[in-house]
Amino acid sequence: MPIDEHYWRDVIRGEREGRTADLLRGALRGLSVPYGAAMTVRRKLFAHRWPRPRAAGVPVISVGNITVGGTGKTPLVGWIASHLAGLGRRPAILTRGYRAVDGVSDEAAVLRQATGVPVVVDPSRVRGAATAVAGGADVLVMDDGFQHLWLGRDLNLVTLDALCPFGYDAVVPRGLLREPLAALRDADAFILTRCDLVESAALRAIGERLAALGCDQPVLTSAMRPVAVESLDGRSEPLASLADRGVWAFCGLGHPEAFFRMVQPLVRRVLGREVFNDHHAYSEEDMRLLQRDAHRAGADILLTTGKDAVKLTPPAAGVPLRWLRIDVELGDDNAVLAGLIAGTLAGA
């Protein structure tokens, strides 16, 4: 029987106690060892150019991570694509369309909506790159590209979630790491996300850990900033409109707690919350139960994320449904990232 995603996360975080949880952690550790070894061998083979990564023929900027679940890289991909368009380039975004429903991926839909840039959905990044270039793209932004080694890249950016940067120091399924931490040495720069949700001491500790791993690449910091409240039919309201409202919040994200922590200071009160699995495909029954629970709690609105909203339809009646528009904010590191991109374009 499959393990519930949230139960699994509780187990690997050490929040579940008892003999069953201990046995499960031991079993997961046993499965992690061969997987981690295989991923190490794979990366070394590509490093020795066997097999040889394919060239796209145009500059490729990869944005990826080393952990499963959300690190907040989707807004960053959107920022880079919009920045490139602002430079007069013709960018396209490559994404594999993870857990697409009826051919529609939540990340792809969010990126199209936020940037207006072409988004090519294809599990093969090499094939997707060829499609994008044939369509006129002169620079590619590869979403979730750190482990997709078949396509060569000119700038290799890795995002680290400041709330859980190193995946509990274990490869899946015992931890959240997609591959051993030594892979981070292949990055050209790191971008820490959700830095507004941790103390400065935690950020320093991340930098020290990267240095201990032999990583001396630039480390940029970023924050996710809510900017507006949106309805599913395109109407926008200021954030201040939440101040006197009680909300029922829900999401299907890899790191749901980050969303709830962002919502808390914006509203009068969070009357309830519901967590679904990452990339959840919402059913009519899901929405009926959310409407029921929100109504019983006396909520003024149901509030969710942009990634969830693209999979929903406006309710015909009941508690109004809204989503929180979020932008990435790099502060002084805006110029640093822009410089990395400029150097990549000049050297490609």
Could you state, in order of their start, the residue ranges of all structural domains in the chain? 60-222+330-347, 226-327
Give yes or no for a cis peptide into 51 (omega within 30° of 0): yes
pLDDT tens-digit profile of 204-224? Answer: 999 999 999 999 999 999 999
305: tokens are 């994320």
Task: State the pTM of this model.
Answer: 0.91
Q: 270: closest CA among 312, 306, 304, 220?
A: 304
**Helix, strand, coil percent content, the chain, rounded in steps of 5:** 40, 25, 35
203: tokens are 């950020």
Query: Quick check: do 60-222+330-347 and 226-327 share a fold?
Result: yes
Report pLDDT for 98. 64
Fold for 226-327, please state it: Rossmann fold (3.40.50)
Rounded to whole angstroms, how far apart are CA atoms 196 and 265? Answer: 13
Starting at the earlier edge strand, list the strands of the sheet with 236-237.
236-237, 223-231, 321-329, 301-305, 246-251, 269-275
Rounded to whole angstroms, how far apart are CA atoms 320 and 317? Answer: 8
pLDDT at residue 99 greater than cutoff 60: no
Distance separating the N- and C-terminal Cα atoms of the chain: 49
Rounded to whole angstroms, how far apart are CA atoms 83 and 180? Answer: 32
**225 - beta bridge partners?**
327
Up-side HSE of residue 264: CA atoms within 13 Å toward CB? 8
> Which band of pLDDT confidence, cut at 50, 70 and 90, is reported for residue 1?
very low
pLDDT at residue 179 greater than cutoff 60: yes
Average pLDDT, the chain: 93
pLDDT at residue 319 greater than cutoff 60: yes
Q: What percent of the chain has pLDDT over 90?
A: 81
Q: 170: closest CA among 316, 36, 26?
A: 36
- Alpha-carbon Rg for the chain in angstroms: 21
Mean pLDDT (whole number) for 1-15: 76
> Which band of pLDDT confidence, cut at 50, 70 and 90, is reported for residue 171?
very high
Mean pLDDT (whole number) for 173-183: 97
Q: What is the CATH number of domain 60-222+330-347?
A: 3.40.50.300
pLDDT at residue 86 greater than cutoff 80: yes
pLDDT at residue 131 greater than cutoff 90: yes
Report pLDDT for 206. 98
145: tokens are 């590209």
Q: How far is CA 345 from CA 51, 153, 179, 340, 348, in A?
A: 26, 12, 29, 9, 5
Rounded to whole angstroms, how far apart are CA atoms 251 and 270? Answer: 14
Residue type for position 69: G
Where are the alpha helices (H) located in 150-242, listed in sequence order? 200-212
Starting at the earlier edge strand, list the strands of the sheet with 155-161.
119-121, 91-95, 139-143, 60-65, 155-161, 189-193, 219-221
Q: How far is CA 143 from CA 61, 120, 180, 300, 343, in A?
A: 9, 10, 20, 36, 20
- Say which range, 70-74, 78-82, 158-162, 334-338, has the weakest mean pLDDT: 70-74
